[in-house]
Structure 1
Amino acid sequence: MNHPKVGIIMGSKSDLHVMQDAADVLKELGVDYEITVVSAHRTPDRMFTYAREAAGRGLKVIIAGAGGAAHLPGMVASLTHLPVIGVPVKSSNSIDGWDSILSILQMPNGIPVATVALNAAKNAGILAAQIISTADEQIVKNLIAFKDDLKKKVEESAKEMEGRD
């Protein structure tokens, strides 16, 4: 991975079990990424630096996962012009994930955060790849192949269930 286009950040290393799905799908789709821990509450200076320097380092999209109060995606979005995709994470101190979902979803006008479903880091990775594909024909081809594969898997499952080979 020479020139990451997507930054994957999370509030705690304990979120990696969810956020790894974004990294895995980006790798599958041929999108270079970086991944690290940036806590809005415990390392605010690191968060400010990361968000403010992301575009200058060549990032095109940031995926930010957070649980509980989940301020990371919104705070990062307030500090950069890059698109930010928020992944609400159901953490050990969560209220069934609703606190994370609402903290990321309910952003004020002017500070949008694209929000995926609870623990849906894979969808965040796919969305990031789709955003990058607007300027990268190879990623377009990779996404088309990825979605064709999804279609084939469903058709194979249907044949299997219906007793056809």
Structure 2
Amino acid sequence: MWDRKSWWDKESWKNYHREFHERLEQFGRLGRLRIWIIYVLSDDPKNGVEIMDAIEKMHKAFHNMNPKGHKHHAHHEHGKDHSSWRPSPGSIYPMLSKMVEEDLISKMEDGRYKLTLKGQTTADKLLMHFPAYGSTDQDKLENVLTEINGYISYLEDIEKEKLVPHQAKIELLSERLKKIGESLKKE
């Protein structure tokens, strides 16, 4: 049975809880449009039109998926599809200028925008548990390894008695990770 008191006493949970609220605060300060821009630029540089296209595409994808991955039906009213949102040029370009001033993004000579170091740090803090838009294989691997590390930290914090019933699974996982590590040494 789950022991609420021992869960809340865990240092890792306290840190996770603190980080979660810090992220919520930062989401609120940044506003929706900034977050979308940071999100779509976390993959690669884009010009204003490409940013609007990417936001529309990702917004539609997020809107049409529920937590279990089942698609929701788009709501149509007078021929309008309300499952997607596309920022207007009148909102996107002033925001891009403002984000350049804030040193979250920079404008390249070819007119595309990219995240600055400050912007990338913000993206990493805000989006660490969300899959990056078009993320690279290396980014995906880094996210997976970070998740695994978090779960291992969680298991290290649990009282040994609670882990005993799961010993066989833990040993199997340990062996599989060991084999992966050994295969890397051979190549």
Does TM, scored on the shorter chain, surpass 0.5?
no
Report the TM-score, using the length of structure 2 for normalisation. 0.27
The structure where strand makes up a greater share of residues is 1
Which of the two has higher C-alpha Rg?
2
